[in-house]
């Protein structure tokens, strides 16, 4: 036993008797011994200090409490007071702590080797120096949570210190989120077991600041206005647990601006981010001329978000009027076929000269009946890989694109597996399975979408039915009737 403990034990019984019951319930009586800086004991082979500093208790949130309010079930007149010593149960007062600390799921259950939840509480709040989380000087204040939580969550701390959120926090931005702010919501697997609901919670947390908070509106919020109707937003709303949410692209802790080379949403990292879900498409893109160019660091090379947008369908790029004059392409055609993203770059003479590529007009001056081709054939039909399956994201270099007429204009043309397939899918989406698939090539009433042909067909069909009806009626009316012999009928009667 420690020397100091032995000293305490040697206190005469008569001295202990002088401490009446009421005084023994006061903190002053406890501090007569526990304020000694040398008081300690041994537990599990380690020396543990039993010193309690008066000034720490005085300024703590528990300053007005007596020691016995927390330390219960022991005899103050016996040293040691209890063997083994009962640990403090914070839950006896803070019964609502588990609901307020969902980021430490299971804190209401004792840790291994601990009889009470005190182990969990004191690990963050301390022992006697517990301060209010509302105080800016408290280590548990939300503005200090990066460093405080980082004492255990070191990897997350290192990531968050590099994030744009932490940059804004250092600028005293009141809207900058911290560990406590985000993790007080059910956004982790320990706080929400339903994966679809978990992803929805994560999405809503980000949107609560970047879209719905009027005090935090910025140029980034404008891109989120139509997020709910986007492919990802609509999928999450339907409860699709595999749909991507904000943290899947931006990461959970190390969120950085797109112009940061280390950002997950940097232009040169976008294919890898999208490729986490769209694996086959990313493989196509990686081998395409665009993907190869992007890997070389060419900023003009289009990535996924250039054509598909980021959070929603982005506005169509502005194509100069002279492009339509030079190419004879209709604006409605390039928008309908999504060729506008191809045209806006490949009609830019300055950009194309930089990479030794001909503009759209010059590259297709050999093509006969250009206006007909523009109206019916998409860029990807000739410029992407036509080996099955239809690799529309594998854009080929100019020397490997289709240029021979017979490659398209023959019975087994490549368009049978590309353009024809594409048009059939579009027809099915627009007119339904029966009209768009089964009857896509049949001249049947109601399936051709040609009003004049439908009117003619209905007329012919109606006249045919009418003719058959009239013919049948006349046959019935002028049918031969049997002759009735009246004399025989009279005789028989």
* Distances 65 to 102, 135, 166 between C-alpha atoms, Å: 27, 19, 37
Residue 343, pLDDT above cutoff 80: yes
**What pLDDT is attached to residue 240?**
92
By mean pLDDT, which of 5-9, 352-356, 404-408 is the weakest? 5-9
Residues 308/318, Cβ–Cβ less than 8 Å: no
Query: Got the DSSP string for 253-315?
Result: S----TTSTT-TTSTTTHHHHHHTT-HHHHHHHHHSHHHHHHHTT-TTS--HHHHH-SSS-PP
Question: Measured at the alpha carbon of residue 452, what is the angle toward residues 446 and 454, in degrees to the nearest 5?
Answer: 25
Instruction: Provide the token pair at 397.
Output: 């270099």
Residue 1, pLDDT above cutoff 50: no
Q: What is the mean pLDDT of the chain?
A: 80
Long-range contacts of range 244-247, CB-CB < 8 Å, 24 or more positions apart? 244/277, 245/199, 245/200, 245/202, 245/203, 245/206, 246/202, 246/203, 246/206, 246/207, 247/202, 247/206
By mean pLDDT, which of 3-17, 102-116, 434-448 is the weakest? 3-17
Sorted by where each begins, the domain ranges of the chain are: 3-130, 185-314, 316-441, 444-493
Model confidence, pTM: 0.67
* Distances 237 to 203, 204, 242, 429 between C-alpha atoms, Å: 10, 11, 12, 22
First to last CA, the chain: 142
* Mean predicted confidence (pLDDT) in 380-397: 78
Q: Of all helices (H) and strands (E), which one includes residue 34?
A: helix 27-34
By mean pLDDT, which of 335-344, 404-413, 430-439 is the weakest? 430-439
Q: Which 3 state secondary structure label does DSSP give 43?
A: strand
For 395, phi then psi, to 5°, come to: -70, 125
**What pLDDT is attached to residue 12?**
35
pLDDT digits (tens, 9 = 90+) for 78-121: 888 887 777 788 888 888 888 888 887 666 555 555 444 444 68
pLDDT digits (tens, 9 = 90+) for 235-262: 999 999 999 999 999 999 999 999 999 9
* CB atoms closer than 10 angstroms to residue 411: 5
| Spatial CA neighbour of 88 closest among 59, 44, 112, 118 | 118
* Mean predicted confidence (pLDDT) in 380-408: 78
| More confident of the two residues 482 and 414 | 482
Q: Which 3 state secondary structure label does DSSP give 48?
A: strand
**What pLDDT is attached to residue 219?**
66
**What pLDDT is attached to residue 2?**
47
Residue 215, pLDDT above cutoff 90: no
* Mean predicted confidence (pLDDT) in 206-231: 78
pLDDT digits (tens, 9 = 90+) for 129-175: 898 888 888 888 888 889 888 988 999 999 999 999 999 888 888 88
d(Cα 30, Cα 156) in Å, to the nearest integer?
41
**Percent with pLDDT over 70 in the chain:** 77
Question: Measured at the alpha carbon of residue 306, what is the angle toward residues 305 and 311, in degrees to the nearest 5?
Answer: 40
**Percent with pLDDT over 90 in the chain:** 30
| More confident of the two residues 240 and 436 | 240
Residue for token digits 């986007």? 230
* Mean predicted confidence (pLDDT) in 323-340: 88
| Spatial CA neighbour of 440 closest among 458, 451, 455, 425 | 425
Long-range contacts of range 117-126, CB-CB < 8 Å, 24 or more positions apart? 117/89, 117/90, 117/91, 118/87, 118/88, 118/89, 118/90, 119/87, 121/90, 121/94, 121/97, 122/88, 122/90, 124/148
Q: Of all helices (H) and strands (E), which one includes residue 183?
A: helix 179-183
Q: Which 3 state secondary structure label does DSSP give 40?
A: strand
Instruction: Provide the token pair at 37.
Output: 């800086």
| More confident of the two residues 272 and 229 | 272
d(Cα 72, Cα 60) in Å, to the nearest integer?
20
* Mean predicted confidence (pLDDT) in 352-356: 93
Residue 19, pLDDT above cutoff 50: no
**What pLDDT is attached to residue 417?**
55
**What pLDDT is attached to residue 108?**
56
**What pLDDT is attached to residue 17?**
35
Residues 118/90, Cβ–Cβ less than 8 Å: yes
**What pLDDT is attached to residue 446?**
54
| Spatial CA neighbour of 426 closest among 444, 410, 440, 408 | 440
**What pLDDT is attached to residue 6?**
40
Residue 490, pLDDT above cutoff 80: no
**What pLDDT is attached to residue 13?**
35
Residues 95/117, Cβ–Cβ less than 8 Å: no
For 338, phi then psi, to 5°, come to: 60, 30
pLDDT digits (tens, 9 = 90+) for 263-307: 999 999 999 999 999 998 999 999 999 999 999 999 999 999 998
pLDDT digits (tens, 9 = 90+) for 25-77: 788 888 888 999 999 888 888 898 989 988 888 889 998 898 888 888 878 78
């Amino acid at each position: 036993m420690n020397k100091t403990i032995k000293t305490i034990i040697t206190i005469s019984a008569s001295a202990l008797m002088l401490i009446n019951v009421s005084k023994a319930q006061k903190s002053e009586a406890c501090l007569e011994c526990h304020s000694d800086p040398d008081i300690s004991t041994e537990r599990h082979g380690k020396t543990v200090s039993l010193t309690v500093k008066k000034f720490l208790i005085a300024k703590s949130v528990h300053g007005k409490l007596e020691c016995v309010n927390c330390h219960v079930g022991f005899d103050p007149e016996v040293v040691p007071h209890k063997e083994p010593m009962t640990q403090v149960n914070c839950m006896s007062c803070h019964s609502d702590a588990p609901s307020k600390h969902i980021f430490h799921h299971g804190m209401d259950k004792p840790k291994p080797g601990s009889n009470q939840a005190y182990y969990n509480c004191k690990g963050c709040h301390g022992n006697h120096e517990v301060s209010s989380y509302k105080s800016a000087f408290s280590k548990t204040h939300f503005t200090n949570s990066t460093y405080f939580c980082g004492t255990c969550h070191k990897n997350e701390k290192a990531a968050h210190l590099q994030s744009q959120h932490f940059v804004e926090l250092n600028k005293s931005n009141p809207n900058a989120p911290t560990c406590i702010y985000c993790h007080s919501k059910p956004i982790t697997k320990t706080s929400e077991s339903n994966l679809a609901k978990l992803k929805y919670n994560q999405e809503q947390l980000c949107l609560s600041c970047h879209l719905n908070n009027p005090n935090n509106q910025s140029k980034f919020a404008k891109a989120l206005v139509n997020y709910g109707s986007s492919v990802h937003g609509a999928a999450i709303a339907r409860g699709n647990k595999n749909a991507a949410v904000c943290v899947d692209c931006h990461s959970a802790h190390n969120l950085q601006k797109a112009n940061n080379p280390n950002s997950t949403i940097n232009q040169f990292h976008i294919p890898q981010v999208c490729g986490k879900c769209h694996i086959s498409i990313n493989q196509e893109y990686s081998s395409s001329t665009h993907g190869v160019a992007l890997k070389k660091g060419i900023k003009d090379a289009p990535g996924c978000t250039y054509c598909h947008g980021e959070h929603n369908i982005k506005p169509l790029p502005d194509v100069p009027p002279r492009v339509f004059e030079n190419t004879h392409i209709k604006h409605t055609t390039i928008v309908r076929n999504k060729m506008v993203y191809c045209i806006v770059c490949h009609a830019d003479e300055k950009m194309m000269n930089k990479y030794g590529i001909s503009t759209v007009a010059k590259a297709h001056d050999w093509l006969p009946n250009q206006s007909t081709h523009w109206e019916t054939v998409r860029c990807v039909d000739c410029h992407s890989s036509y080996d099955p399956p239809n690799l529309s994201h594998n854009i080929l270099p100019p020397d490997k694109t289709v240029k021979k007429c017979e490659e398209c204009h023959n019975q087994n043309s490549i368009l049978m597996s590309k353009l024809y397939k594409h048009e059939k899918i579009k027809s099915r989406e627009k007119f339904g399975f029966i009209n768009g698939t089964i009857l896509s090539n049949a001249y049947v009433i109601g399936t051709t979408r040609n009003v004049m042909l439908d009117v003619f067909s209905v007329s012919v069909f109606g006249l045919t039915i009418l003719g058959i009806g009239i013919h049948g009626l006349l046959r019935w009316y002028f049918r031969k009737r049997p002759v009735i012999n009246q004399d025989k009928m009279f005789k028989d009667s």
